[in-house]
Amino acid sequence: MPPRVKVTKQMVADASFEVIRASGHESLNARAISEYLGCSTQPVLYSFKTVDEIREAAYEIADNYHTEFIMPKEKDENPMLALGLNYVRFGQEEKNLFRFLFQTDKFGGKDVAVLMSDPGLSEIMGIMTAALKVDTERAREMFMAFFCVAHGMASLLANNSMEYDEAQCKKMLENVFYGMIAVKKGV
């Protein structure tokens, strides 16, 4: 008889992320996780007290995955546009994760002001202030407008309310981005 595989807390969290990614947060339960891991529900519930705790661990993994997905790459000519387009693409390609991160009562209820004060935005604000030659406060204002447009498109895509057309999405983001620059210059 083969030795039993020890199911770790990280294995349960990773499996939860994958269940949500494949089937949506609504389908996350101990049985779905145990089926993914090929074990009974006992080891799943041994590592966490509740499914809500499992959901929180999956949220952290999803949030890190989202951040990695959307960050501009060194080869991107315009990091801000790349960030926006990556964000929109995330809504299209990872619909279940997008809804889990941004459209669930428990996890999506973050105020935009909280988002804007997130230390993770410091790199993006640095890119914007340098590229646009603006102070941090103006960069935050511009980012907020840009984010609202990108988030709106991503939400529409994640909820199947819009057809994905990369060229059209890119054009909309460019209009907002370059429009903000024109306003800054007083054009």
Which of residues 139 and 36 earns the better pLDDT score?
36
Express each pLDDT in 40-82 by its tens digit. Answer: 999 999 989 899 999 999 999 999 999 899 988 878 788 888 9
Residue 110 scores a pLDDT above 70:
no
Q: At what angle do helices 95-102 and 136-158 cross, to 10 degrees?
A: 130
The CB density around residue 140, as the number of other CB atoms within 10 Å, is: 17
Confidence of residue 4 (pLDDT cuts 50, 70, 90): low
Residue 132 scores a pLDDT above 90:
no
Q: Are 128 and 143 in contact (CB under 8 A)?
A: yes
pLDDT (average), residues 121-126: 77
Structure tokens at 12: 């349960």
Express each pLDDT in 17-33 by its tens digit. Answer: 999 999 999 999 999 99
Structure tokens at 24: 């949506």
Which amino acid is it at 171?
Answer: K
Q: Is the pTM of this model over 0.75?
A: yes
Q: Are 129 and 135 in contact (CB under 8 A)?
A: yes
Express each pLDDT in 84-107 by its tens digit. Answer: 999 999 999 999 999 999 988 765
pLDDT (average), residues 134-146: 85
Residue 110 three-state SS: coil
Residue 140 scores a pLDDT above 90:
no
Residue 108 scores a pLDDT above 60:
no
